[in-house]
Chains A and B, each alone.
Chain A
């Protein structure tokens, strides 16, 4: 725990010290704010459905941007050599970095509470849906982050890490959008594998263990793969 906390502190500080993180968060807020604002008055309903509908898509681009440097940069600069010769497990490095990225994601989400607060002035906002929605976004974001860290552990090139993460996440995102083309017996499998499908359940305010299990296992396996590929140093 101590090692994870040390890594977390160091990574979180370098996030909040670097202009890149602020730029990425700003873009995230501009995009979500734009889509939220344009549709809210058209729909004329006091809920956050439009925001929760668009954030998963924005995450597809936002999350790889915050995870791409986590390990790829250390590999490129060579600092990974010192880090992994310190007495700490590869998994502790991965989890510490994952939690730091999650903190940045949570910080970005906190700013979107403005939407919830302004909507609550306009009408009767369903608190359960909002809490569920944020909980779902956090879980979904965490799953994306875990995939992003895995992609970052594969390469020393941040651009490659970004693209690989984007592609994997986008596939998970699209799975339930293409159900129309899938043979009927496979539909439920594709639906179950889709990140968005589980998010829709949670964002309605329904917290089902199946959905939680899905997210936690996705996070766990991605982090496991990331720590495995960090341990597999070049040359083997």
Chain B
């Protein structure tokens, strides 16, 4: 559906996007993550034909954004960051204007506007000037105009910025529903949002692509090893010695506890689950297990490590 090949964008010598390639399939919800100024907005602007890449090609639905810009733009609904919309127009006039620029038939246009007003909850503000609206409402007007022509592809730059928690929940439900039949790319730096809505994540940092995968793949496969932590009631030295002998265990460390038990941290190769072995050991030795869990690396951690790691060599 969307394919970027070696896309680079430089602003007066500085590379905002540096040789990025990825593709998005139909029906995917792609979360675009990165710290501020990582190149998220620039990448989205290139896909939406706001500006051309310095080098590389972007193909949307088989059409090159440089050669077939008008056709590409017809297929895309775009919500720019901060939803910049004319402050001196009222909501209804603006949606009519957007519908006319999208060349919808008058009857169809009115029907789509009614639908979008209902979906985005704009009934109460139809006659108000957009400049007077709160940030959340303005964001919703932006969403309404992006979805007005029922595009196959939706590109949303920080769609939940400025919304309250209830509205964020509503937008997430909406995004999930849209994702069943459409292709979505949304950028954000709110990580739970990505985990809640996206089927795939791309992390970019300083213009470079640093990770690409499903949310749980990213957090699971990240360290390349499994970690199990357990608290047992057992003699310390015996426990540590027995644990080191367990099959699959590559490293054992003691961790502090506050309930008089002995805490251990077992490291093993990826895909190697040592929890059963630990249980058998505890039963054989008659050591009660107080607590045991597999450590999951959170997306936050993945994000932090990836975006900080790649900062070090350059600085």
Contact = CB atoms under 8 A, between A and B. Distances in A.
A235 B85 contact: no
B101 A85 contact: no
B97 interface: yes
A233 interface: yes
A81 interface: yes
A215 B109 CA distance: 40
Nearest to B14: A235
B101 A3 contact: yes
Interface stretch (B72-80, B183-191, B249-257, B302-310): B72-80
B49 A85 contact: yes
Contacts of A82: 78, 80, 84-85, 145
Contacts of A18: 88
B70 A81 contact: no
Contacts of A88: 70, 101
A210 interface: no
Interface residues of A, number: 22
A188 interface: no
Interface stretch (B4-12, B19-27, B169-177, B259-267): B4-12
Interface string A77-116: 1110110111111000000000000000000000000000
A10 interface: yes
A85 B84 contact: no
Contacts of B85: 79, 82
A235 B88 contact: no
Interface in A1-17: 2-3, 6, 10, 14, 17
Nearest to B69: A87
B101 A86 contact: yes
Contacts of A234: 11, 51
Interface in B31-82: 45, 48-52, 54, 70-71, 73-74, 76, 78, 80, 82
Interface in B63-119: 70-71, 73-74, 76, 78, 80, 82, 84-89, 97-98, 100-103
B80 A87 contact: no
Contacts of A236: 51-52, 54
Interface of A: 2-3, 6, 10, 14, 17-18, 77-79, 81-82, 84-89, 233-236
Interface of B: 9-12, 16, 45, 48-52, 54, 70-71, 73-74, 76, 78, 80, 82, 84-89, 97-98, 100-103, 145
Given A2-B100, A87-B102, 11 more contacts: A2-B103, A6-B101, A10-B97, A79-B86, A82-B145, A84-B49, A85-B50, A86-B73, A88-B70, A234-B51, A235-B51
